[in-house]
């Protein structure tokens, strides 16, 4: 099996090189010179032709790590974007000097000695939405660890909690269309856009929990976005030609559906949650008056249990 994957990746790399070499430059022929002492030539026009680039579907797992590194291009710094569908943390892999491997929908994988923590931190800064802000919102809904990062339609979830070095692998759920669970290994098989596939070392319960968390945050965030767009007399419509990712599918097909709530209920919820957080900081958890004060600032009726149904 290992030889099969090795040979397959070699063929993939050869096809990639051939496509990159296919370019042509055409120049007009020289115009006859006018004067005998010098040559007059019109500006040459150049036409570059590049074939449409189509990346062959990748099958990713740590068992094929070396093959994936072989076909990857090295970068000093990596900037991820909406085309990123997986960020692999290699900091614990002693057999390679690289610390990260990033996969794009239509590009060759990128490897770097830069840590996944630095790569994702740069991305959060470029989005102007700090991860700590998303974590605080997640905390309001009962998400205390492995909080997804959701900004608009881009959803990145950490495979596991970051260790002491703050590095983690991140899955771009906005490009995941389907998933299956291998009952023997309890690994999760992910199917991305453009036919990319991955065997993720995540248990079925862990992945389903991350999917539920992502749907909860995505639902709340888009409720707020829709409200502000309505106030400005705009509306948001999902492009018809784009297949729904698994988070959007969960929200559409959820049974029972996510409990409906208004934007004002959501704001009230956050106000009272923030008040309770402030009370804990001021009075500390073991203060005998804390429970009485919490009753005064009781969080509205809908909670993370209802939201996560």
3-class DSSP string for the chain: CHHHHHHHHHHHHHHHHHHHHCCEEECCCCCCCCCCCCCCCCCCCCEEECCCCCCCCCEECHHHHHHHHHCCEECCCCCCCCCEEEEEECCCCCCCCCCEEEEECCCCCEEECCCHHHHHHHHHHHHCCCHHHHHHHHHHCCCCCCCCEEECCEEEEECCCCCCCCCCCEEEHHHEEEEEECCCCCCEEEEEHHHCEEEECCCHHHHHHHHHHHHHHHHHHHHHHHHHHHHCCCCCCCCCCCCCCHHHHHHHHCCCCCCCCCHHHHHHHHHHHHHHHHHHHHHCCCCCCHHHHHHHCCCCCCCHHHHCC
Q: Are residues 172 and 238 in the same domain?
A: no
Range scoring the smallest mean pLDDT among 7-11, 130-134, 139-143, 181-185 = 7-11
Range of the domain at 101: 55-204
Q: Are residues 238 and 277 in the same domain?
A: yes
**266 vs 207 pLDDT, higher one:** 207
Task: Give the mean model confidence (pLDDT) for residues 120-125.
Answer: 96
Q: What pLDDT score does 235 carry?
A: 66
Question: How confident is the prediction for the chain on average, in pLDDT?
Answer: 77
Q: Are residues 125 and 9 in the same domain?
A: no
Domain end: 49, 71, 86, which one?
Answer: 49
Residue 217 within a domain = no
Domains contained in the chain, number: 3
Residue 212 within a domain = no
Task: Give the mean model confidence (pLDDT) for residues 137-146.
Answer: 87
Q: What pLDDT score does 250 carry?
A: 87
Residue 37 within a domain = yes
Torsion angle of the four alpha carbons 210, 133, 174, 199, in this order, in degrees rounded to the nearest 10: -40
In this predicted structure, the answer to whether residue 78 has a pLDDT above a threshold of 70 is yes
Q: What pLDDT score does 47 carry?
A: 41
Band the pLDDT of 24: cuts 50, 70, 90. very low
Q: Are residues 135 and 276 in the same domain?
A: no
Q: Are residues 90 and 176 in the same domain?
A: yes
84 contacts: CB under 8 Å, gap ≥ 6: 102, 103, 104, 156, 172
Band the pLDDT of 165: cuts 50, 70, 90. low
Q: Are residues 180 and 290 in the same domain?
A: no
Q: Are residues 158 and 21 in the same domain?
A: no
148 contacts: CB under 8 Å, gap ≥ 6: 134, 138, 155, 156, 157, 158, 173, 210, 213, 214, 217
Residue 220 within a domain = no
pTM above 0.75, yes or no: no
Token pair in block for residue 74: 């090295």
Residue 287 within a domain = yes
Q: Are residues 184 and 263 in the same domain?
A: no
**Cα-Cα end-to-end distance for the chain:** 41
Residue 124 within a domain = yes
Q: Are residues 274 and 186 in the same domain?
A: no
Q: Are residues 38 and 153 in the same domain?
A: no
Task: Give the mean model confidence (pLDDT) for residues 121-150.
Answer: 92
Q: Are residues 242 and 118 in the same domain?
A: no
| Residues pairing with 157 in the sheet | 171
Q: Are residues 199 and 69 in the same domain?
A: yes
Q: What pLDDT score does 256 carry?
A: 46
């Amino acid at each position: 099996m290992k030889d099969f994957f090795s040979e397959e990746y070699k063929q993939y790399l050869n096809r990639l090189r051939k496509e990159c070499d296919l370019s042509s430059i055409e120049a007009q022929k020289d115009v006859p010179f006018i004067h005998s002492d010098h040559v007059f030539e019109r500006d040459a026009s150049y036409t570059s032709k590049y074939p449409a680039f189509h990346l062959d579907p990748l099958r990713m797992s740590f068992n094929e790590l070396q093959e994936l590194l072989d076909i990857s291009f090295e970068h000093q710094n990596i900037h991820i974007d909406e085309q990123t569908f997986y960020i692999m943390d290699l900091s614990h892999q002693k057999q390679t000097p690289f610390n990260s491997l990033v996969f794009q929908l239509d590009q060759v994988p990128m490897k770097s000695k830069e840590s996944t923590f630095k790569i994702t931190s740069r991305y959060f800064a470029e989005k102007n939405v700090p991860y700590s802000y998303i974590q605080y919102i997640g905390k309001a809904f009962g998400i205390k660890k492995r909080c997804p990062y959701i900004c608009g339609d881009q959803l990145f979830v950490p495979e596991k909690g970051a260790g002491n070095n703050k590095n983690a692998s991140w899955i771009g759920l906005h490009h995941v269309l389907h998933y299956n669970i291998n009952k023997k290994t309890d690994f999760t098989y992910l199917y991305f856009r453009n036919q990319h596939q991955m065997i993720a070392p995540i248990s079925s319960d862990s992945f389903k929990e991350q999917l539920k968390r992502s749907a909860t945050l995505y639902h709340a965030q888009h409720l707020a976005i829709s409200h502000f767009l309505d106030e400005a007399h705009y509306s948001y419509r999902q492009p018809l030609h784009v297949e729904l990712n698994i988070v959007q599918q969960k929200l559409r097909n959820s049974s029972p559906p996510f409990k409906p709530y208004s934007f004002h209920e959501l704001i009230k919820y956050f106000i009272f949650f923030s008040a309770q957080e402030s009370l804990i900081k001021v009075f500390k958890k073991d203060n005998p008056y804390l429970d009485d004060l919490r009753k005064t600032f009781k969080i509205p009726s809908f909670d993370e249990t209802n939201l996560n149904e």
